[in-house]
Chain A
């Protein structure tokens, strides 16, 4: 079986995606965008699994990616529910407003 997926490039792409997602989480104050950043980070991790699985010719990478997809779906459902709650209670999606919950 020929190696159709270039490992190095895909890992670099995963790292770049991960960094972009992280920056999105850290920089954006809108909680919806932070959630999107998290999704990007999850997908970057998934891409790294797929690349590694292809490199060793193992199905484990793809199994792991399906797990991550499920995890992301669950996380989004919970996250969106929380965001709805937050919006109802604080009338904003700015995460810094939540600082008043400190203490």
Chain B
């Protein structure tokens, strides 16, 4: 069964090629069948392979399949190889399962769109590239998938390209992530020159054998890989592209900019964890960036009015949690949060998509209101997603994963009280901002008419993801809740090292648990008081000059875009304007002008008068003879 692994990324790729080649032939129904079916088949196959892997684990906990050698130049021989272990199994399952349900939802969501086929072609190509990314056994092959998902992200953000603004957003996403990718590419070259291999397994062994902990080359490699991860996962300082990426269709935001692609950076760090463990300062930087990101985007999400932008900032902040977990060495916690986040964030986006479509492309939460009774399906799924995101205790998946991260940050030797405090504050912000959107959009007075309601396919997707957003958390239950369950972390131990933890007395553990429980409830209660009850004192406070300034500052995402515009884009545009007539062209234009002048002078001699030519000829002869005679 495992040897069929190559079919998992190939099936969506076949779907893509079928759609592209037969685009003039396929009807809309056929398009949906090919587009959704290819991912569905891939999903079924992935489930079969995963159960096979679990029932009969291969030797060493990993299965390697080398398909062929990509190219051979001297020692440089990257192979097209797949490596299947616990980490790639979890990633593959999330991508195919969540991807399938998002495809199913899109078949309905995009039904009225002119470019139905193009949408599914891009989506299938994306799923194929993403599967290559997580299954690749060779870093160069991984990079192929990495660039593939970047391309699809660009194409899908700018999907409605009739509006130039969408194209600008697509370009911004592409360019900002490209900045990180340059670092990744340099890291690849550095790894190859230093270790002589790009096969992930081999290079890890070489690295731990050759590089001492904290050696400069290990730090340089880790920093460069981190740059790639920051760009792809939209972490500070490269986070500015993700809110703009919401210009794409909502299923795209759900699949690419929430569930899968943006977590590729986290996957890269987890995949190359050996290199990061050799560079402790970089690991600390990962943790600090994680905390900074989750706080900055948490505050920014508080001041957004566009429902998709709220979710975008929340995605950035949740990936910040994953980075924090990676930074403190809680590898399994990061993967666990990725797993739950994929479900509840996809769910949030899809239910937001239902709302947006029902209200005729309305994104502003202040113009929604009272949707609780009028769009019950969207309300319940959005509520479940929000509860999971806000980590409502015991019943939601998000609680278990976020709790695991916060607990690991406290107990890990790499963590500490400061990082812990940041994470807890972030959890508080999360529940405030997400329930702000719930209370404003779904409660209160109705403000707009409700049009189209979701039908069967969208409802199936919402139901399945809702169930996932509730029950996935039971894979990991902390010890203090009666025994404890550690299915996922024990499974991931085959691939990722166990996170180190100081043993804490039970009293402290209970206290920490209580803090995380209370903080999320407190956040929801604050949101309830501020945005549903709307006390006059709160209104007065919110309308002061300082509050407005703060709201504008948070709303602009802490002014990162403004700074980047001033420091990078503005000067570049100024230079382009100044240098519109290329400086180098002056030289070449001078050459051209001189030859044109000489041509003008010589042209004067061509009079067409035969006797004049004769005379000049004779004069030339005389001059020649004179020269010969006189010298």
Chain A positions near chain B (C-beta within 8 angstroms): 22, 25-27, 29, 34, 95-96, 98-103
Contacts and interface: CB of A to CB of B under 8 A. Distances in A.
A29 B608 CA distance: 14
A61 B618 CA distance: 24
A25 B614 contact: yes
Sorted nearest first, the 4 A-B pairs with minimum C-beta distance are: A102-B608, A99-B608, A95-B610, A25-B614
15 contacts: A22-B618, A25-B611, A26-B611, A26-B614, A26-B615, A27-B611, A29-B611, A34-B610, A34-B611, A96-B611, A98-B608, A99-B609, A101-B608, A102-B606, A102-B607
A103 to B, nearest CB: 7
Contact of B608 (A22, A26, A34, A100): A100
Contacts of A95: 610-611
B356 to A, nearest CB: 70
A73 B606 CA distance: 30
Nearest to B610: A95
B611 A99 contact: no
A41 B34 CA distance: 91
A103 B606 CA distance: 8
A96 B614 CA distance: 13
Contact of A103 (B608, B609, B615, B618): B608
Contacts of B610: 34, 95, 98
Given A95-B610, A96-B611, A101-B608, 8 more contacts: A25-B611, A26-B615, A29-B611, A34-B611, A95-B611, A96-B609, A99-B609, A102-B608
Contacts of B615: 26
A96 B610 CA distance: 7
Contacts of A101: 608
Contacts of A34: 610-611
Interface of B: 606-611, 614-615, 618
A98 B614 CA distance: 14
Contacts of A26: 611, 614-615, 618
A102 to B, nearest CB: 3
A96 B608 CA distance: 8
Nearest to A27: B611
B350 to A, nearest CB: 75
Contacts of B608: 98-103
A100 B608 CA distance: 7
A27 B614 CA distance: 10
A96 B615 CA distance: 14
A81 B614 CA distance: 20
A10 to B, nearest CB: 19
A101 B607 CA distance: 9
A27 B618 CA distance: 13
A5 B618 CA distance: 29
A42 to B, nearest CB: 15
A22 to B, nearest CB: 6
A41 to B, nearest CB: 10
B618 A99 contact: no
B11 to A, nearest CB: 70
B619 to A, nearest CB: 10
A95 B613 CA distance: 12
A99 B613 CA distance: 12
A25 B613 CA distance: 11
A99 B607 contact: yes
Contacts of A22: 618
B508 to A, nearest CB: 100
Contacts of A25: 611, 614
Contacts of B614: 25-26
A98 B610 CA distance: 8
Nearest to A23: B618
Contacts of B609: 96, 99
A101 B606 CA distance: 11
A27 B615 CA distance: 10
Nearest to A96: B609
Contacts of B606: 102
B446 to A, nearest CB: 83
**B606, B607, B610, B614 pick with most chain A CB within 10 angstroms:** B610
A98 B609 CA distance: 7
A101 B615 CA distance: 19
A98 B611 CA distance: 11
Contacts of A102: 606-608
A22 B618 CA distance: 8
A93 B609 CA distance: 14
Nearest to B615: A26
Nearest to A95: B610
Contacts of A29: 611
A15 B609 CA distance: 26
A103 B608 CA distance: 8
Nearest to A31: B610
A26 B611 CA distance: 5
Nearest to B603: A103
Nearest to A29: B611
A18 B468 CA distance: 111
Nearest to A25: B614
A35 B611 CA distance: 12
B614 to A, nearest CB: 5
Contacts of B607: 99, 102
A34 B615 CA distance: 13
**A26, A27, A95, A103 pick with most chain B CB within 10 angstroms:** A26
A98 B615 CA distance: 16
A100 B609 CA distance: 9
Nearest to B608: A102
Contacts of A98: 608, 610
Contacts of B618: 22, 26
A28 to B, nearest CB: 8
A101 B611 CA distance: 14
B362 to A, nearest CB: 71
**A27, A96, A100, A101 pick with most chain B CB within 10 angstroms:** A96
A55 B615 CA distance: 32
B547 to A, nearest CB: 81
A103 B615 CA distance: 20
A102 B618 CA distance: 21
Nearest to A103: B608
A21 B206 CA distance: 95
A29 B611 CA distance: 8
B550 to A, nearest CB: 78
